[in-house]
Each structure stands twice: as C-alpha cells, then as structure tokens.
Amino acid sequence: MKKIPLIMDVDTGTDDAIAIICALMSVDILDIKAFTTVAGNVGVDLTSRNTLNLVRALGFDIPVAVGARKPLKKALHTAISHGSTGLGDVHLPRSENLFYPKDAVDTIYQYASSLNGELELLAVGPLTNVAEAILRHPDLIKLIKRITIMGGTLRGGNMTQTSEFNCYVDPDASKIVFESGIPLVMIGLDVTLKPQLPLFVYEQVKACENKFARIATQIFDFMLRRNEQYGFDPPNLHDAIALASILLPNLITFKNYHIEIETEGTITRGMTVADFNHVLGEEPNVQAAVDIDCDMFWEWLINKFRDADQSSAR
C-alpha cells in the first residue's frame, strides 16, 4: 500500500505528544516528511524542543522545523493544563540535534512542491503556520491534497462558551485556512471530548514493554493526575483522534458544512460558525466530524502499542 505523505504541524503539549508517538508507530502507513512547530499550548521554543526531544528519543531523524512564535494578529494565549514546559512533569533526554534549517512555512512549501499535490497536512495546534504558508506561497493552495485539523467545534467550546482553544488562539489564521479552498477536515470537540482515557486502556499500554509505551505511560500518568488534582481538562486524546481519523476511514462520522470563523467577538472569538440551515446558500467548505466510534479508537490505540511490542521483540 502506498504510504500517505504527511507533515504534522504541532504545538507539542501532552496530547500532541501522544499523537506524535502514534504517528511514529504508524510509519508503515505514513511517510512523515517533517514535524513543524507552532506556539499554542506553550511558547514555540518549548513546543519545538519538546517535539525534537520526543522524535529523537524514539529513534527517528525526521526533520523538525520551527514555526510561528505568535498568532498573525493577536497576542499569544497559552494553555495552563500542560504544565510550564508543555509536557507536565515528563522529562525527555535533551537532543543535541539541530532543528531543520528552513522555517515551518518554507518546509511545508518545500515538501508540497516536491510531491505533485499529494502532501497532506495534519495540524493539531493553532493554524498560524498553515495560514502563513498560504500567504507567503499562494500557489500552495493547489499543492496540498488535504488538511486535517484538530480544532473547532460545531456546538460548545473549551476556551469560551463557543470557541475551541486552537481556533481561539489564532482566529485570523483559522479564517484564512477555512477560506483557502484546500480540502479541509475538521476534527473538533464534538468528537474529541467523547473518548476519555479509560483505566483499562492505560493499564494495557503500561503493560507494554517498548519505548513508545514507556513515554506514553508517563504522559498518561500526568494527564490522569492533572484531572484528579485540578478537576478540569480530563484525559482526552484530541490530537491522537485527529491522527486516527486519517488512518481509520470508518472511525469518524462526518457532515459537510459551510463554516466561517469569527475573529473578534468577546465570547465568540474563534467560533467555527456552521451554516446548519444553508442560510448563506454557500457550498460546504469543511468536512466536519460529528460522531466517533470510541471502542474502535481505543482498540486501535491499544493495538498500536502492542504491535510496537512485537516489533521490538523481533
């Protein structure tokens, strides 16, 4: 089977790290060209360092390119639930490798240009890098096969009553991406809040004896303790679900909507406003996730770590 050429655009906090781990366990299916980093959960220096350390700790030399330090127009708003470094109390060995010499924008363009329209982007942080790539290289619009984002929501938010965190952080970038015409898949809170890490999944991953599971277990430990201690931000694997949606065609149920982004509202900044009743008469621009098979997701996740056990035993 032909591999999917992919760039992952990340703001590496805890759930981003789980998505990266799962992606690196899926290199039989994914041809990961690069990881690009953006400010979001924490500042870009930390998201970049977290990404490089994690990828190298797992034994991969995939390029890590540093991206935007702040949103296009707004001041940067970071999260609080990922700890001061983005990875809670998880400490990875510091890699001595260098970041990729090109920035995130030119890295995306480089690979998109070389792949004849086959490159896919998985963006699980604020969309600043993707929007800047479109602005800097307008022909990129015809060079990207599909963008899958973890972001947005059809109903209800986790940053404001109506807004999801990634779209809230850089609504102006989200607007550019949503209006770009590039095929867009939105894996939003409507599905990512449904599966919360069950203890039986945690225990089965913990029982695996491989480098992927060892790091993932440390991150899960922090996520579970964080929820117990603070009473918020339960262990949802938002970004891993977005990754899984690419690898498991039947995991997610979708509906197509025309969606616009509110960039300024006090309560609605970053709101992904779906035209449910076709008021505008516009064609859909987003394939939006509306439901998920939670059992399928957990089975997939467990099997990823078990398969890694078998591979390491060979």
CA atoms within 13 A on the CB side of 297: 27
Report which of residues 229 and 51 the model is more confident about.
Answer: 51
Helix or strand (DSSP H, E) at 6: strand 4-10
Q: Does pLDDT of 223 surpass 70?
A: yes
Which SS3 state, helix, strand or coil, does residue 310 take?
helix
Measure Cα distances from 96 to 38, 60, 108, 213, 222 in Å: 20, 13, 24, 23, 26
Give phi and psi for 149, each to the nearest 5: -115, 145
Q: What is the pLDDT of residue 314?
A: 52
Model confidence band, residue 225 (pLDDT cutoffs 50, 70, 90) = confident
Q: Does pLDDT of 109 surpass 60?
A: yes
Q: In the predicted model, what is the mean pLDDT of residues 34-45? A: 97
Give the number of residues written for the chain. 314
Model confidence band, residue 234 (pLDDT cutoffs 50, 70, 90) = confident
* Percent of the chain with pLDDT strictly greater than 70: 97
Q: What is the pLDDT of residue 233?
A: 66
Looking at 13-27, 78-92, 205-219, which range is the least confident one?
78-92
Give the tokens for residue 221. Answer: 């430990």
Catalytic residues: 238
Q: Does pLDDT of 13 surpass 60?
A: yes
Q: How many CB atoms lie within 10 A of CB 276?
A: 11
Looking at 81-85, 95-99, 108-112, 290-294, which range is the least confident one?
81-85
Tens of pLDDT, residues 166-192: 999 999 999 999 999 999 999 999 999
Tens of pLDDT, residues 118-177: 999 999 999 999 999 999 999 999 999 999 999 999 999 999 999 999 999 999 999 999
- In sequence order, the 6+-apart residues with CB closer than 8 A to the CB of 296 are 248, 250, 251
- In sequence order, the 6+-apart residues with CB closer than 8 A to the CB of 117 are 142, 143, 144, 145
Pairwise CA distance, residues 16 & 12, whole Å? 5
Model confidence band, residue 309 (pLDDT cutoffs 50, 70, 90) = confident
Q: What is the pLDDT of residue 130?
A: 98
Question: How are the residues of the chain apportioned to helix, strand and coil, as percentages rounded to the nearest 5?
Answer: 40, 20, 45
Q: Is the pTM for the entire model greater than 0.75?
A: yes
For 144-190, strand residue ranges (E) read 144-150, 184-187
Q: Specify the residue for token string 């500042």.
A: 43
Q: What is the pLDDT of residue 313?
A: 53
- For residue 272, the 8-state DSSP code is E
Which neighbouring-strand residues pair with 30? 4
